[in-house]
Every structure is written in structure tokens, then in C-alpha cells.
A = this chain, B = another copy of it.
């Protein structure tokens, strides 16, 4: 064992010196089809073919988890390539330790990671691929897991079969906390949904699954101590403790921590439906069906509350082995406290002047219970109040300002503001956000040390098992890169290229983000003709949901947890790849003096398709109640595309265009966008349409000479 470690260190030093000798070119690194991009990479010459003789072997530290990782690697490699490996069967291609040295991919691991994965463990690895073999070296088993994912991403088809390029990679994460939060409360997410998302997290090297397990709309964990939590607070949709063990084991296998969140003292109506005696109000309480911030809150002035929470946290602290325990703490509106004379009296007698001070008192008490049961506390910004111990960690939904203020006061924290993937932003927009950006950029080195990473958050008002993957992936890969790769990894085009490649690979893992759309369209279309169904697909591929919280504002009927998520707004992707490509083509067309005939043809084809699409959609809408509310957006898309098409014609024919007409057309585009909002949809190619209109005639980049 010692010998192996020494040997490993030797290899590591050799590799390091090679990297030091050859300065890494950002260019060659971003050409690698890998996301997140490695810290350092240098392309060599030649390739290592992947054929049916491929084997993998482990030396150094070696255990069942690594064996399983090897199996998983080979299964995934089989799916990616179709190759039936020679050493087939249950031990397919993973060599016994005594034969490991002759493996195509030799993995050398220094030591195991901690039995319960901890924040900040070593995840580094080096990977050296030459035409004759691949060597993956990692200090810990976690590094080995990370490196295996890199190898998988490097596989590509060539004129001579599959191969990986010769490359030298030295990689480690920029941040130790790289998380994805999934809200299992607002819409329940069955175990298979979680598992496939854990698979995808592993693929992009994320290491924290933050599991939002309770909220107004449901309490989702089986408690033996307080069984009414699940019987009366979950509508029957909860995870048994066995299932939770299963998820934790599954996550650990993939180098992912599981941090549970039990939101309190607000966001707790589902608890109160089961145990109204915890409440500040008089009840009765029922599981909440609507979305928003609600009045019910635990009673912070009642010792019964703390006795309950003590027993509850004791049970959950045992169930979830992670060092961290998330107590939520966000968005208490205080109305129940204001209305309760006993609470008011308590505040007076304890010198608490504001509700935030009362919440601070509560947080302090709960945080003590968390510590008592052996955990460290993490909570949303609101838990950060004077006097809270420095061990408490902040998850910032408020943003850089709040996070850096915390860091200045000595608190560690992670950023989630900017990574709210439920808001429908583009990958580029999330990618721009940096945990060290904004106010954090001005922190000193010590303070910066306290910013540990970030988490994307999949709040589940508008997602269910059918469409949730599409709201997480592939955009989450861009966020994963932000958390893993060096800060100067900011080439958006490169990110999109690699993100799309990963998007395809994620399908081999069983993610449904690319298949759900056609299925949902079929539901809408019913027995419509093939052409009509195709028109719906064209529509949903072109549009996006309105962003941020506009959906609520535009809703004509208040949405609830029982509203079917079957409409066009539920089906469109947060980011339309078709529209993104179209917009990029418009930019390229304008940059090339509007002369590229192939581009003109491609733009015309797309615009024509959109322009004439509405007729068929209208026909389906006659037959399908689900499609009806998308009709305004469908008409708006076609009419907008019509305007852009006529602009393209004018550009092509070098016709003059009066400025008034342009203004009129741009006003019309805006009106169409507003019309699309009636369907809670937006036309992402609108800016590109406008560019074409502006470019036509005199004054624009395509002005006739």
C-alpha cells in the first residue's frame, strides 16, 4: 500500500514536471470536447483507439466502489460506442488487480476518500493519454471518479473507429462545493428521476446533491419518530428511509454528498398539517396547493417546538450522514407572529424588537440543536444574524452582496443567486455569474477563501418527472464548469459547443431532456396528422418560456400543484437551441457583409418554416384544448418571422428601406412579443429578427453600396 502510494507520487511528479515544461495553451484546452474544462490540458499527437480489446485496471488503493465505477465506465463506454468488450460479462473489461498493469486505462489511486464524503477532499487527478495507453492518477478515489468522466467525454468517432486523443491533463476543481438543489416538495420527484440526475451530476463533476425535502406543499421523508409528517403532510408522496439510504449510497458511489434541507420556521405548512401544535397560528392547516410565500410559521416562543425539533433533528441527523444539515430559514413573512399575542408578549419580554430578531432567536436555537446532533448548519441568507457562530454556512439566494458581506464577517458561503435554473435563463447568462464576481471580487484573500462554490437550484413549481430533466440539462453543465474550471474559462461559444456534446452523451445515461419534448407534443396533438404534429414541434423548438417570475404574473388562472404541466410553456426548453443557432447564423451573416449565400439559404429556410408554421398549429388547436393557449404565441412567431423574411429579401435585393418602415416593423416585433406573452412564451429569435430589419436598407451593415 505504501509502495503504491510512493509509486503514485512518483508518477504524479513526473506528470507535473511535464506540464510545467510545456505551457498549456488555452486554445488547445478549449478544443477538448470536455465539460467542465480541465484546469490544465495539453494535446499530444495521435490517438488511443478504443476497441473491443479495451480494458481498465486499478492499482494502488482499490475497493468495491472503484470496481463499480470501472463497471459503470465500461457500460457507459459501451453505450457511447456500441463496442462489445472482449472481456465481456459481469466483470466486463475490469481486470483483476494482478493483471491491472496491462490495462488500456490504468487507474492509480493513492487512497480512499472519507467514508462519509467531506467538504474539501482532494478531487484532483492527472490523465496522460498516449497512442499506446492511458494513465489516470489520483490522490484519492474521488479524483479517480472525476478522471474517469473526463476519459468518457474524450471519446469520439473518427474515420477509423472510436478513439481518445493523446493528451496530458492535470485537473482539480476551483471550488470544493459544486451543488445542484432539487426541490422534491412542490412536485415530488421519484427515485429514478433523482438517480439519473445524480448520474448526470457525476458526468459534469458536481459533488453536492442538496435535497429540498420539505416545504409548504409537502413533507417528503418518512419519520419514524413523527410519522404524521409523512402520513398527513405528503399526500402519500414521500421517500422511505430505505429509499433515502439508497439515494445516499448511489450518490456516494458517484462522489456526491447528499445535504438534506428541512425548511423552517417558514415554508412549513406541510409540517403543520401534521403537527399543528408547532404553529404560531391557530390552524387548522392543510397542505398548501398554491405557489408563493405563505403565513404559516413555527412558533419560536414555544419550548414544545424545540423539543419536537430536537427529536426530529436527532432522527434526521442519523439518517443523513453528511456533515452539513440545511435548515432553510428563508422567506418568513411574520404575519402569524404579528397576530399571536403570546408571541408578541414573548418578544417584548425577551427584548426582541423585530420579527427578524425573533427569527434570529429561532435560528440560534435550531442551530444549537443541529450542533448537538453532530452536524454543521447551513441555511439561506436569513439565518445569518448577529451572534450566529462562524461555523454556520450561508447559501445565498440574495446574491454577491449578501454573500460577500457574510464572508467579511467570517462566514463561509456558497452562491445560488444567478444559478436559479427554474427562471429559464440561457446557459450563457448563468455562465456569466461567478461566485467570485460582483462584490466578492473586492474581498481580500482570506475572505475569498470563505466562498466555497455554488449551487444551481431546481425549484419545482413548474417541473415534474416528465420535464424536469430539460430544466436542469444541459444548462447545468455550464454551471458545473463555472464551479470546476479556472475563473478565466469564459469562452461562451466553446462552452455551448461542449455543452451540446455533453447533452447528447447524457442521453446514454438515461436523461430525458432531449426526448420529453416530442412525447409531450404527441400528447397535445392526439390523432393529428404527421404534418400538424411536426408543426407543434417546430413551435416548441422555436420558443421559450417567459423568464424569471413572469409566468405567475401572466397567468390567467392561478397555478397550483395540481395544474397539469402539459401546455406548450411546459414543453418548450428554457433555452431554444434552434433559435440560438439561428441567431448565431444571423450574426455571422451580418458580420460577413451579408454576402454568404449558404447562410442566406439557411436563414431563409428557417424563416420560411416559421412563417408558414402557424396555419397547421391553428388546425391542431381546433382539436386540442391543450394547444389553444399557445395560439397567440404561434401567430406571433409566424408573423415575426414573416417580417424578418421580408427584411432578408430586401437585403438580398439591396432594396432601400425607409427608416419609418423599419421603426414600424420593430414596433410590430415588440407587439408580437407581447402577444406571445399571452401564452406565457417568448420569442428568443426576436433580437435576431430585429437585427435583420435594422440591417436592411440604408444605414445598416447590409446597406446597398
Contacts and interface: CB of A to CB of B under 8 A. Distances in A.
A526 B156 contact: yes
A526 B157 contact: yes
A523 interface: yes
Given A523-B157, A526-B157, A82 B565 contact: yes
Interface in A171-222: none
Contacts of A17: none
Interface stretch (A84-92, A110-118, A359-367, A690-698): A84-92
A357 B501 CA distance: 61
Interface stretch (A6-14, A234-242, A368-376, A674-682): A234-242
Interface stretch (A334-342, A377-385, A621-629): A621-629
Interface stretch (A128-136, A303-311, A430-438, A556-564): A556-564
A625 B527 contact: no
A157 B566 CA distance: 12
Contact of A523 (B80, B91, B522): B80
B581 A158 contact: no
Interface in A610-639: 622-626, 628
B159 A624 contact: yes
A515 interface: yes
Nearest to A465: B79
B623 A581 contact: no
A27 interface: no
Nearest to A505: B522
B501 A159 contact: no
Nearest to A621: B159
Interface string A507-544: 11000001100110011111100100000000000000
Q: Determine how many copies of this chain the complex contains.
A: 2
A398 interface: no
A462 to B, nearest CB: 13
A161 interface: yes
A81 interface: yes
Nearest to A503: B522
A439 interface: no
Given A90-B237, A91-B236, A527-B33, A84 B561 contact: yes
Contacts of A628: 159
A504 interface: yes
Given A157-B625, A625-B160, A504 B522 contact: yes
A626 B622 CA distance: 44
A82 B92 CA distance: 41
Contact of A515 (B501, B515, B564): B515
A336 B527 CA distance: 57
Given A236-B88, A236-B91, A626 B566 contact: no
Q: Which of A159, A466, A623 has the most CB of B within 10 A?
A: A159
Given A159-B622, A625-B161, A235 B88 contact: yes
Given A89-B235, A235-B88, A236-B89, A527 B156 contact: yes
A83 interface: yes
Contact of A157 (B515, B519, B626): B626
A562 B52 contact: yes
Contacts of A564: 81-84
Contacts of A626: 157
A540 to B, nearest CB: 15
A491 to B, nearest CB: 17
Contacts of A530: 581
Contacts of A623: 157-159
A466 B84 CA distance: 13
Contacts of A81: 523, 564, 566
Contacts of A508: 519
B566 A523 contact: no
Contacts of A92: 236
Given A237-B89, A237-B90, A82 B566 contact: yes
A546 to B, nearest CB: 20
Contacts of A504: 522
22 contacts: A33-B527, A81-B564, A82-B566, A86-B562, A88-B235, A89-B234, A89-B235, A90-B237, A91-B236, A157-B525, A157-B526, A157-B624, A157-B625, A157-B626, A158-B624, A158-B625, A159-B624, A159-B628, A160-B625, A507-B522, A508-B519, A514-B518
9 closest cross-chain pairs (CB), A and B: A89-B236, A82-B566, A90-B236, A82-B564, A157-B526, A89-B235, A84-B562, A157-B624, A504-B522
Given A92-B236, A157-B624, A530-B581, 11 more contacts: A79-B466, A84-B561, A84-B563, A88-B236, A88-B237, A91-B236, A157-B625, A159-B624, A159-B628, A507-B522, A508-B519
